[in-house]
Every structure is written in C-alpha cells, then in structure tokens.
C-alpha cells in the first residue's frame, strides 16, 4: 500500500473535524481570500496550464478536450466569481430538517451535517479543482483531489494557491489536498480508502466513471456522461429551434451538457432539416443521420453506436420519429440520464415528455447547456449526478451533506 497516499488520507481525516466546526463567517472570509489569490496569481496558474496545453497538443488531444483543459485570465476570473457565488449561498450545515417529540417522549431533531472527507477523481478540467474546494469547504468538508495527468501542472498551481490563501486565514491547508502522483495504481488504491474517505465522486468520461463505480469500496455518487438529446416536435417554432440547437451543440463542444443527438418529428423534416443542416455546417458540425434524414439532406449514415455516443466534438446524430411517444422511447433507450429537451408548443406533448423522460434534467424550449450549478443558482457545482440516490442533477452544497439525529431524553430507558 502506498504510504504517501495513506498519509494524505490520514491528514484529511484529521482535518475534517476542524473544518466541520468552522463558522459560516470564517468560511466566507476564507472563500473571499481564495478568490483574490486566484486572480492575483493568475500568471503563475496560466504558466502551469501552458505546460499542460503544450503536452496535450503535442499528443494530438481531441480539440474539445483541449478546450476543457484550457485556462485563460477570463476563465480564472470566472472561477473566482464562482467561488464568490458559493460564499453568498446559505450555509447548509446545522440546518434543522425535522423537530418533533416521539410517542415515547424523546425529543428528536434531524440536522444537516458535513459528509466529512470527500474524494474527487476527475480528468482534464482544472476548474474542477477550485470548484470542488469551494463547495466542499462551504459545506464543512475536507477534500482530497485526484486529477488526471493531462492537467497535473494546472491542478498543482491552483491547489497551491488555495492552500496559500487558507494559510493566510489561519485555516488548515489540508482542507484541500491534491494527490500529485499520476500513477494509475495510486488511483486504484485511493478507491479503497474507505477507512478515511466518506464519499467518492468521479467526474469525467465514461471509462473513469465506470472504473470508480465498479472498483470503489467507498460510497460513490455517480456523475454521468452526457449523451444529451433535443426533440423538435412538429409544433416547435423552427427558427428558434435552430438557434437553440446551435447553442446546445456548438457553444462549447467538450462539455457534458452539450447536445449530441437530435430527434426530429417526421412531419417537419422536409422543411426543417435543410435549414438546420445549413446552420450546422456553417459551424463545421458533421451530421450523421438515419435513412429518413438522408433522404432530405446530405449526411453520413448514423449507426446504432452513433445514437449512444457522447461525441464531445463537432458531430451530431439525427433520428426522425412519428410522434412524441416514439421520441421518448428513443431517448430513454440511448440516454445517459443527464439532460434532455423538447421544443414544442403543444401542452400535451410537453407534459408527456416531462413525465416520460428518465433524466436528471428535463427541459422545455431550452438549450441543454443550462444544466450547470452556476446557471441553477447553486454557485459552482461538484458535478451532475445522473443517479437517483441522495443527489440528482447539479450537485451544490446540500448534496455534499448528510444528516444526523439529535435525541434528548429524561434519563429515558426503553420498556
């Protein structure tokens, strides 16, 4: 067993008992200092990020993934703003969830408490380092981060900056610890640290998430990949539909809430597909369509695999359907339970879609790109949970807490 890893986990375990006792005011002042430090040290962070970017480009990394890896002064400013938004959120720790007297006379309170030590395993998105700290810290937790090798220099720089800010606030720096080893064996061993780590959250591609879910002995919240669909119903405003699809597909292609697959009502395919195809091609999007789509526009044959693929690039699949029920059936077959949208003016179809789609976030007349903690008013997010236990959708502060019962008796014994 890796002694350095055990030492990291023990340090975090000891620190959690300090962090959970910090007042909201102390936590908020620390978050302010962290945001200031990130902006003040942006040149240091960007220099480290450039090392990662140069290596990524040299390796021929997918452009969408390069975009995820890239930091700029503007993006660092956005990260700092996200931290300040978390600072402004209500502290969930200590929230009274229930308060009653049981039939046996016991006074019972149910209160929200921190998870403890949260481990996060993620890939090449260095902004996750700061986001994860802000949310875990505000919710009273210590965090251990295991980022991917592609972003190791960026993650080190951001973590070092946060630790400097905490030290300046006389708060234990071990509120955040980065596992700097890029050895996959260390990652595998980290998944077994149940003695020290209370919760493990994977954030990345399908392979990473599957590996954590299948191998971890620590309880896991699964943050899923995003094979997100938009269904264009026959009653949709087609001009506005084009704008939504372009936004959902091309605003940022390497993110989990980008649209990867379109479902088109067959009654509008003749009118809609040529206009849509023109707009997509202007954005250099490759279209992969079913037989009915190919009869209307020039495109590549869509395979079964295409309909289930999260491309994270300028590719989109297209499926035509006869009605909303067929659309729901198709989407539920290929969904990753992340974000799905219907564009419609029909109330009955809207309600069918909202009730019938099995996903964390279901939209009406909106881009899937809104699935984001920032957009939902949660500040930064720890990830998008696609499971159904405890947390689902964008995970903010409350999703990083548990609860406990506080029971008061009168020297009570059970009869």
pLDDT band at residue 380, thresholds of 50, 70 and 90?
low
Q: What does the block give as tokens for 213?
A: 């879910």
pLDDT band at residue 99, thresholds of 50, 70 and 90?
very high
Asked if the model's pLDDT at residue 276 lies above 80, the reply is yes
Residue with tokens 């069918």: 352
> Is residue 294 within 8 Å of residue 324, measured between CB atoms?
no
Asked if the model's pLDDT at residue 379 lies above 70, the reply is no
pLDDT band at residue 123, thresholds of 50, 70 and 90?
confident
Among candidate residues 359, 343, 357, 315, the one with its CA nearest the CA of residue 244? 343
DSSP string, 323-376: SHHHHHHHHHHH--SSEEEEE-S-HHHHHHHHHH--SSEEEESS-GGG-STTTT
Weakest mean pLDDT among 125-129, 296-300, 318-322, 404-408: 125-129
**How large a percentage of the chain has pLDDT more than 70?**
99
**Tens of pLDDT along 33-52?**
999 999 999 999 999 999 99
Q: What does the block give as tokens for 220?
A: 């896991």
Average pLDDT over residues 64-73: 90
Distances (CA, A) of 329 to 63, 290, 334, 357: 32, 16, 9, 8
Average pLDDT over residues 284-298: 96
Average pLDDT over residues 331-358: 97
Asked if the model's pLDDT at residue 406 lies above 80, the reply is yes
Asked if the model's pLDDT at residue 377 lies above 80, the reply is no
Asked if the model's pLDDT at residue 97 lies above 70, the reply is yes
What radius of gyration do the chain's Cα atoms show?
23
Question: What pLDDT is attached to residue 396?
Answer: 87
d(CA 225, CA 335) in angstroms, rounded, equals: 10
d(CA 311, CA 15) in angstroms, rounded, equals: 40
Asked if the model's pLDDT at residue 374 lies above 80, the reply is no
């Amino acid at each position: 067993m890796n002694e350095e890893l055990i030492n990291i986990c023990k340090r975090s375990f000891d620190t959690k008992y300090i962090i959970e006792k910090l007042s909201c005011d102390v936590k908020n002042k620390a978050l302010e200092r962290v945001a200031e430090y990130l902006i003040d040290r942006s040149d240091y962070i960007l220099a480290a990020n450039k090392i990662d970017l140069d290596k990524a480009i040299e390796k021929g990394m997918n452009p969408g993934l390069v975009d995820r890896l890239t930091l700029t002064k503007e993006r660092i400013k956005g990260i700092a703003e996200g931290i300040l938004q978390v600072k402004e959120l209500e502290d969930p720790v200590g929230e009274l969830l229930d308060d009653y007297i049981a039939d046996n006379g016991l006074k019972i309170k149910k209160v929200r408490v921190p998870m403890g030590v949260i481990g996060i395993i993620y890939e090449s998105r260095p902004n996750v380092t700061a986001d994860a700290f802000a949310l875990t810290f505000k919710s009273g937790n210590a965090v251990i981060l295991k980022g991917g090798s592609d972003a190791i220099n960026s993650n080190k720089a951001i973590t070092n900056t946060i630790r400097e800010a905490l030290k300046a606030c006389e708060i234990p720096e071990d509120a955040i610890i980065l596992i700097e080893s890029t050895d996959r064996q260390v990652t595998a061993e980290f998944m077994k640290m149940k003695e020290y780590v209370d919760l493990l959250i994977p954030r990345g591609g399908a392979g990473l998430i599957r590996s954590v879910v299948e191998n971890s002995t620590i309880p896991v919240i699964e943050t899923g990949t995003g094979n997100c669909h938009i269904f264009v119903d026959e009653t949709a405003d087609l001009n506005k539909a084009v704008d939504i699809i372009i936004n959902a597909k091309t605003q940022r292609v390497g993110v989990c809430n980008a649209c990867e697959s379109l479902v088109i009502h067959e009654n509008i395919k003749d009118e809609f597909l040529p206009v849509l195809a023109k707009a997509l091609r202007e954005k250099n999007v490759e279209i992969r369509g079913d037989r009915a789509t190919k009869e209307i526009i020039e495109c590549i044959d869509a395979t079964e695999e295409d309909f289930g693929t999260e491309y994270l690039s300028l590719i989109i699949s297209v499926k035509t359907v006869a009605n909303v029920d067929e659309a729901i059936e198709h989407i539920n077959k290929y969904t990753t339970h992340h974000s799905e949208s219907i564009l419609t003016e029909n109330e009955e179809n809207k309600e069918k879609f909202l009730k019938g789609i099995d996903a964390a976030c279901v939209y009406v007349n909106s881009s899937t790109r809104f699935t984001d903690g920032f957009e939902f008013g949660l500040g930064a997010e720890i990830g998008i949970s696609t499971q159904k236990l405890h947390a689902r959708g964008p995970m903010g502060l409350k999703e990083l807490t548990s609860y406990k019962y506080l029971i008061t008796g009168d020297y009570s014994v059970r009869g």
